[in-house]
């Protein structure tokens, strides 16, 4: 009886301990998710990027903050999966034909930016008292730039397709590929000297494991994976497809780790092998949500691991390290871009986008500590330098975008903005995807036009093709008059920005009443606001394409082509009438909904009556 009581007591203690541990894990997860939900949107709204939000979230909830989470090592073990998945996705992007096309840019800019930066930073580290092995390793780690920061930062400003964005992507691609051998070479930096002779006993077992792992990953990626995906895809079970995708990523990482290689290397190889697969986009769609969240947790863990004690103890050293990293990489980047004959604004964007450290720097320094190539203090200083540089660069980039680049662009194209060759009958404001089509149609009929746009790089690009495009703000009356609005006959408003389009319409109606104004509207509300300003020639940008798509859908459903076209024409006429009818109460949502429902009912009754007449005549 006593033994039974003891057994029950032990079971109770085990159950209590398990419950307590589960509760701690749940509390940790709640803290991580809450910090993400609060800090990341704030950071994005401030224009500094989500990575800064994750880092600040880690600072707030970590051991030196509110102490909501103290088990940093446990979170790091899970969040490293985010880095593994990021390498897998990078592998998916590195398709052989794409690398071949970009080979000169990747190698030229990649070597030109990374190697000099690493050399200068390593020299500074050596001057600070570190030995050459540690200095070179720190220089290489600090020379890397953050893919997770740069690409979203450029994408938010529509710069990925610009020269600065393409150059930055080439450098990041080079660094992502260089990271794999860098991690593999970390053990060479450990120890007092490099071996000058082979060891007496070659570790054949370790070599054999590595060879088996690489052959298994290569063979599986070439011969098995696509067949398995076809089989899994044929079952039409999405969750199984997702599970298979995760199994490949985690499985290849585990296989590489078993062989003594970097888990990231295994994931990268698997991604590269699948880069030309027919399932590439489906795989990417399945992995990205996990990668994004886990990589976010990785940055949170970095924020939590920042040693505030080190910052307080050595503030001058940390500030000097951050300043040296930013200045050296920015200067090298600007010089390299300028040598490539980029404009000053493009070179500045390229230079200021890349001086931060990388998420891979954390991994590299962690591997260096494990291998004994860096001390924990040295790695702590380097990690803090990288983290602070990640906080500073988005702010610097936002600053140059707001203050420096516009002034440089204005100086570059100011003369062209106010001096068109001769008066033209048409003035197109906004020369993006809509304005360019209008301009091409006019060119076909040999009708000259003048185009205004505020994107200087965009203007410079389209001018190479002979377009009469000029830099300038069309919402300024002086710019409009300088562009020939006084002698023009037609004003085409093709601006993306709704507020700017409305401001331009009001300006033209007041100061240039002789112009026939035609405007592009993004939606119904935008169209009604333009109508309020007296603009009557309006095209809603998605209306015509949507009507055509609807007509194609009706025809595909066996509706006779003539009847489908008549249905679309009737609907379009009624929709235009409804647009005017609801103009007076467009802000009253309930009345607008009631009008739309009534319109649908009327159209249904109209077509029913037509069908009955047709049936009776037959």
Q: What's CA 261's distance to the chain center, in Å?
A: 30
The residues near 5 (Cβ < 8 Å, ≥ 6 apart) are none
Residue range 40-55: average pLDDT? 77
Q: What's CA 194's distance to the chain center, in Å?
A: 41
> Quick check: helix, strand or coil at residue 538?
strand
DSSP string, 250-263: HHHHHHHHHTTS-H
User: Among candidates 223, 290, 218, which has minimal Cα distance to 250?
Assistant: 290
Name the H helices within 354-432: 359-371, 376-399, 405-417
Residue range 181-192: average pLDDT? 75
Task: Name the most confidently modeled range: 104-113, 154-163, 325-334, 498-507.
Answer: 325-334
For strands 537-540 and 516-521, give the pairing. Answer: parallel
Gap between the Cα atoms of 378 and 368, Å rounded: 10
Instruction: Report CA-CA distances (Å) from 357 to 172, 293, 327, 353, 389.
Output: 12, 20, 12, 11, 6
Kindly state the percentage of the chain with pLDDT values over 70. 79
Q: Output helix, strand, coil percentages for the chain, rounded to the nearest 5.
A: 75, 5, 20
HSE at residue 533, side-chain half, CA atoms within 13 A, is: 23
Residue 143 burial (C-beta neighbours within 10 Å; 0-12, 13-18, 19+): buried
Name the H helices within 46-162: 50-61, 72-93, 96-101, 103-127, 132-143, 147-155
The pLDDT, as a whole number, for residue 118 is 94
Gap between the Cα atoms of 564 and 570, Å rounded: 10
Gap between the Cα atoms of 425 and 431, Å rounded: 16
Residue 406 burial (C-beta neighbours within 10 Å; 0-12, 13-18, 19+): middle
The pLDDT, as a whole number, for residue 462 is 74
* Among the ranges given (160-169, 349-358, 597-606), the one the predictor scored with the smallest mean pLDDT: 597-606
322: confidence class by pLDDT, cuts 50, 70, 90: very high
* Among the ranges given (153-167, 213-227, 522-536, 583-597), the one the predictor scored with the smallest mean pLDDT: 583-597
Residue 576 burial (C-beta neighbours within 10 Å; 0-12, 13-18, 19+): middle
> Quick check: helix, strand or coil at residue 540?
strand
Gap between the Cα atoms of 557 and 550, Å rounded: 11
Residue-wise pLDDT tens digits, 70-90: 776 667 666 677 777 877 877
Kindly state the percentage of the chain with pLDDT values over 90. 12
Mean pLDDT, the chain, integer? 78
324: confidence class by pLDDT, cuts 50, 70, 90: very high
The pLDDT, as a whole number, for residue 199 is 47
479: confidence class by pLDDT, cuts 50, 70, 90: confident
> Dihedral of the CA atoms 432, 438, 440, 442 (nearest 10)?
-150
Does 372 have pLDDT greater than 50? Answer: yes
Gap between the Cα atoms of 345 and 350, Å rounded: 9
Residue-wise pLDDT tens digits, 104-132: 778 888 899 999 999 999 999 999 888 88
């Amino acid at each position: 009886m006593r033994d039974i009581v003891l057994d029950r007591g032990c079971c109770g203690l085990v159950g209590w301990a398990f419950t307590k541990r589960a509760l701690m894990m749940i509390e940790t997860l709640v803290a991580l998710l809450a910090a993400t939900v609060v800090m990341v949107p704030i950071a994005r709204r401030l224009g500094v990027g989500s990575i800064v939000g994750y880092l600040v979230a880690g600072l707030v909830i970590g051991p030196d903050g509110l102490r909501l989470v103290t088990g940093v090592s446990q979170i790091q073990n899970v969040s490293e999966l985010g880095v593994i998945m990021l390498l897998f996705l990078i592998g998916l992007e590195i398709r052989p034909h794409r690398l071949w096309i970009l080979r000169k840019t990747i190698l030229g800019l990649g070597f030109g930016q990374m190697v000099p930066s690493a050399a200068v930073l390593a020299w500074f580290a050596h001057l600070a008292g570190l030995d050459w092995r540690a200095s070179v390793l720190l220089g290489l780690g600090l020379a890397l730039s953050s893919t997770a920061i740069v690409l979203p930062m450029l994408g938010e400003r529509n710069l990925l397709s610009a020269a600065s964005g393409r150059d930055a992507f080439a450098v990041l691609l080079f660094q992502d590929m260089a990271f794999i051998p860098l991690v593999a070479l970390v053990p060479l930096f450990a120890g007092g000297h490099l071996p000058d002779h082979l060891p007496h006993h070659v570790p054949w077992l370790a070599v054999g494991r590595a060879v088996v792992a690489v052959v298994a990953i290569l063979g599986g990626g070439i011969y098995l994976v696509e067949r398995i995906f076809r089989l899994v895809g044929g079952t039409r079970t999405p969750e199984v497809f997702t599970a298979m995708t995760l199994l490949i990523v985690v499985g290849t990482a585990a296989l590489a780790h078993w062989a003594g290689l970097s888990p990231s290397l295994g994931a990268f190889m698997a991604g590269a092998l699948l880069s030309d697969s027919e399932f590439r986009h489906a795989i990417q769609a399945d992995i990205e949500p996990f990668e994004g969240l886990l990589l976010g947790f990785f940055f949170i863990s970095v924020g939590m691991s920042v040693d505030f004690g080190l910052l307080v103890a050595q503030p001058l050293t940390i500030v000097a390290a951050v300043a040296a990293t930013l200045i050296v990489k920015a200067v090298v980047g600007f010089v390299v871009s300028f040598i490539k004959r980029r404009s000053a604004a493009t070179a500045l964007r390229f230079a200021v986008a890349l001086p931060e450290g990388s998420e891979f720097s954390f991994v590299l320094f962690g591997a260096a500590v494990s291998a004994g190539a860096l001390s924990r203090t040295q790695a702590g200083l380097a990690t803090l330098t990288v983290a602070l540089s990640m906080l500073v660069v988005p702010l610097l980039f936002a600053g140059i975008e707001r203050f420096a680049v516009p002034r440089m662009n204005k100086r570059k194209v100011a003369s062209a903005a106010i001096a068109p060759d001769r008066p033209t009958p048409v003035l197109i404001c906004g020369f993006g995807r809509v304005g360019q089509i209008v301009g091409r149609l006019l060119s076909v009929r040999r009708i000259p036009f003048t185009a205004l746009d505020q994107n200087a790089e965009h203007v410079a690009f389209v001018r190479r093709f002979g377009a009469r495009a000029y830099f300038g703000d069309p919402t300024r009356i002086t710019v409009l008059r300088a562009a020939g609005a006084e002698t023009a006959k037609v004003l085409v408003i093709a601006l993306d920005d709704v507020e700017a389009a409305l401001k331009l319409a009001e300006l033209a109606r007041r100061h240039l009443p002789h112009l026939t104004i035609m405007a592009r509207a993004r939606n119904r509300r935008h169209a009604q606001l333009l109508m309020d300003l007296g603009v009557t020639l309006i095209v809603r940008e998605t209306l015509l394409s949507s009507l055509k798509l609807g007509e194609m859908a009706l025809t595909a459903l066996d509706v006779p082509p003539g009847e489908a076209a008549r249905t679309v024409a009737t609907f379009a006429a009624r929709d235009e009438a409804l647009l005017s009818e609801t103009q007076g109460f467009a802000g009253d949502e309930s009345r607008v909904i009631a009008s739309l429902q009534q319109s649908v009912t009327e159209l249904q009754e109209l077509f029913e009556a037509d069908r009955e007449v047709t049936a009776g005549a037959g």
